[in-house]
Structure 1
Amino acid sequence: MNRLFRSVLGLFAAPRLNVREDYAKVRRFQQHVAALSGPRYRPVYRQTAADVGTHRIPVRVFQPKEKRRDEVLLFFHGGGWVTGDIESYTPACATMADLTGCVVASVDYRLAPEHPFPAGLEDCFNVARLVLEDPQRAGIASAANVVLVGDSAGGNLAAAVSLMLRERGHRGASRQVLLYPVTHWDHDPATSPFASVRHHGEDYRLTSMEVQDYFDLYVPDHQQRRNHLVAPLMAPDLSGQPKTLLITAELDLLCDEGEAYGEALAEAGSEVRFHRVDGALHGFIALPRFSRSLREAYEVVNAFLDEDSDEDSTVAGRPGGSSRPGRQDAP
């Protein structure tokens, strides 16, 4: 990437935050922005909840302007497990519904630090379990129509939910879409095994320090961060996982670890499609609908959804590099 392009992109860098001190301010800002756009999106969704014992987990269901598919996208939002909610992600979920033609169900899981690991993950797991075990009750024709989707920390949660469903003996989703997910525990440029952490950990949309701050709030116990339900790349067994679409952003410090997780899934026998969005920053799924990065990503998502989930096809190769035998890039 040339210096001029890098300088221009630097203008879009997020303000540097001390996440551990400022997370409450970030939440208030997100809620304020959502309130400003709320009337535009309110007609397209309805509010419901999943009841787990005495605990209610809010779920917001978005209807597309034109329903073109039977799939229901069960969505876990990003925000470092600390910020973000169904309010702040309403514009992104409305866009997701319209551009895929699918119903989108957004889960309002509990956030750290008030509710550290595994509280938010258990919320996501319980909603997924209920929907997959009794889809008709949720208004879904078949469990095969349920697709797990998550971005950033939400991609981490989607991956972890898939692992939990298999480990606890429940029916799993047949497909998952992981958007620039967190899959590893180490984001220190001095020790991380991933080049993207060193190349992009101080620039643009998300920094290494911010990710480490999020981890401090989500998983205060450093030893527990190597738990595979925190860092899916640490899982000793990745067999039996869903057909996966792995979308990464070229200029994101999480790029390499996301693709490494896809490689690990493929080596364990899962069918994986990769797509790296060139020139994209972390969090592009929340950009306006005219954004090139967002449009490109949804073209790939739609192609993935149109594939027969039961087809016996080859596994995709790592984007941006040479393909191994028997692998191909996402359509």
Structure 2
Amino acid sequence: MDSRLNPHTHPISDAVRKARQAVLSKIEQEQQESLPWYSWPTVEEYRLARRQGSHGFPKPVLNEKATFVNILGRDDHQIELRIIKPETRSARGVWLHFHAGGFAIGSNASYDPYLTELSEALGLTMVSVEYRLAPEHPHPAALNDCVDAALYTLSEEGARALGSSLRVLGGESAGGWLSVSVALALRDEHNIDVESSLGAICSSYGIFDLTYTPSVLSHERSIFLSKEHTEKFTENAFGHVPVAERKSPRLSPLYADLRNLPPAQFLVGTVDPLLDDSIFMAIKWQQAGNDVQLDVVDEGFHAFTLYRFNDTHDEGLERITTFLDGKLM
């Protein structure tokens, strides 16, 4: 196997670069004028404002055709799965989706436009997990919910209810961490051959070292995610774990045994504190003998695929679509 990892980058013109940078500066300035989630009286008040589209937040755009399945997870916890099916083509499988939000905010209904775009472009049924959030439910609650959802989608009952079988694990930010961590838990704790059971993993701008990579520690900007935001999210969900123990593979998958895993795509932008996490994980994924694709989007910011602020959104979706079209034959 070729030991070199060649990132997939698309050259952009100076004009495109300047346009992207202008958008970044505008977003950064606007976000400096808003309170981060950890400065609100409670995180639940912040979540409610986002759900309702109040306090300056845009009202979420929902896919009115989304349906739901509720499953029973461990500890008798009910887990809601939000289902978006392609309308213009038959589904060729299920993408089990783990939403962004730093393990503290967001929901399975937060990103309907994005999931609808992916569903139509890929011909996949998007099944997004409403996992429990911190600080009310610190680690491992979110991971347990997502593993239980994966076990359900892998079951005959799940395939019947969802209309097709599980092909992809994927998510963004915290969901990127969950995508990899769920695959490892299925392999190590449930003896599932994930290499043959899954078609691919799509992890976008995830965190893989909870003691932080150099790009986090040296990051100076604040565009959806800053160094301080990263640290606040981590402490909120994993603060009960001593720092000395956070390099455990169950917490920081960069240090896990990565052998016998499915093909994976790690997608990230150059203006993201978690840039190194994707780069380092892609290298480790390949070193373990797995198929991997590293996509680095020039001037891409954290969450660039989730919001259509500029053309990085379309580029990110094109990267995902091209990767999966090559894996889900």
Q: TM-score when scaled to structure 2?
A: 0.82
1:69 deviation in Å?
A: 4.8
Instruction: Give percent identity, aligned residues only.
Output: 27
The structure showing larger relative contact order (alpha-carbon pairs under 8 Å, at least 6 residues apart) is 2
| Ranges in structure 2 where 5+ consecutive residues have no aligned partner | 1-13
CA distance in 1, matches of 2:302, 2:291: 25
Which residue does the alignment assign to 1:270? 290
Question: In the superposition, relative to structure 1, how do residues 91 and 17 fare at CA in structure 2: closer, same or farther (>3 Å)?
Answer: same
State the distance in 2 between where 1:131 and 1:94 align: 19
The amino acid across from 1:211 in the alignment is: T
Aligned residues: 298
Residue 139 of structure 1 pairs with residue 176 of structure 2: no
In the aligned structure 2, how far is the partner of 1:29 from the partner of 1:98? 30
What residue number does 1:28 align with? 48
CA distance in 2, matches of 1:122, 1:222: 20
Partner of 1:158: 179
Measure, in 2, the Cα distance between the counterparts of 1:94 and 1:186.
34
Please say if residues 129 and 170 of structure 1, whose CA atoms lie closer than 8 Å, have aligned partners that are also in contact: no
Residue of structure 1 equivalent to 2:277: 257
Q: Is the 8 A contact 1:67 1:102 kept in 2?
A: no
Instruction: String of CA shifts for 1:165-204, please: whole Å, max 9, x gaps.
Output: 11011242331000111111134xxxx4x2x325534332
SS in 1 for 2:59: helix
Q: 1:3 and 1:270, CA in 2 relative to 1: closer, same or farther beyond 3 A? A: same
- In the TM superposition, residue 309 of structure 1 has moved relative to its aligned partner by 5.4
The one-letter code matched in structure 1 to 2:120 is D
- In the alignment, residue 176 of structure 1 is paired with which amino acid? I
Measured on the aligned residues, the alpha-carbon RMSD in Å equals: 2.6
Map 1:40-55 onto structure 2 (within 5 A): 41-43=63-65, 45-52=66-73, 54-55=76-77
Amino acid at match of 1:177: C
Q: 1:136 to 1:9 in 2, by over 3 A?
A: closer
Q: Is structure 2 residue 329 aligned with structure 1 residue 307?
A: no
1:75 aligned partner: 97
Q: 2:116 aligns with which of 94, 110, 116?
A: 94
Aligned counterpart, 2:11: none
Q: Which amino acid aligns with 2:253?
A: P
Tell whether the 8 Å contact from 1:10 to 1:203 is kept in structure 2 after alignment: no
The DSSP-based 3-state class of the residue aligned with 1:257 is helix
What residue in structure 2 maps to residue 212 of structure 1? 231
Q: 1:123 to 1:201 in 2, by over 3 A?
A: farther
Q: Name the residue aligned to 2:263.
A: 243
- SS state at 2:126 partner: strand
In structure 1, the residue corresponding to 2:232 is in which secondary structure?
helix
- Given that 1:158 and 1:178 are in contact with CA atoms closer than 8 Å, whether structure 2 keeps it comes out as yes
Letter in 2 for 1:278: D
For residues 96 and 122 of structure 1, the distance between their equivalents in structure 2, rounded to whole angstroms, comes to 25
Deviation readout 1:126-181 (Å, 9 max, x if unpaired): 110121133533334444xx200110000001110011111011242331000111
Residue 170 of structure 1: which of 171, 192, 197 is its match? 192
Structure 1 residue runs without a partner (length 5+): 311-331
Of 18, 23, 27 in structure 2, the residue corresponding to residue 12 of structure 1 is 27
Aligned partner letter, 1:73: W
CA distance 1:59–1:5, change in 2 (3 Å): closer
Distance 1:268 1:126 in 2: 26
1:120 paired to 2:142: yes
Q: Report the CA distance between 1:85 and its aligned residue.
A: 0.4
Measure the CA separation in 2 of the matches of 1:5 and 1:131.
39
**Greater CA drift, 81-90 or 166-175:** 166-175
Paired residue type of 1:77: H
Q: Secondary structure at the match of 2:131?
A: coil
CA distance 1:8–1:70, change in 2 (3 Å)? closer
Question: 217-226 or 240-249: which moved more?
Answer: 217-226
CA distance in 1, matches of 2:321, 2:199: 16
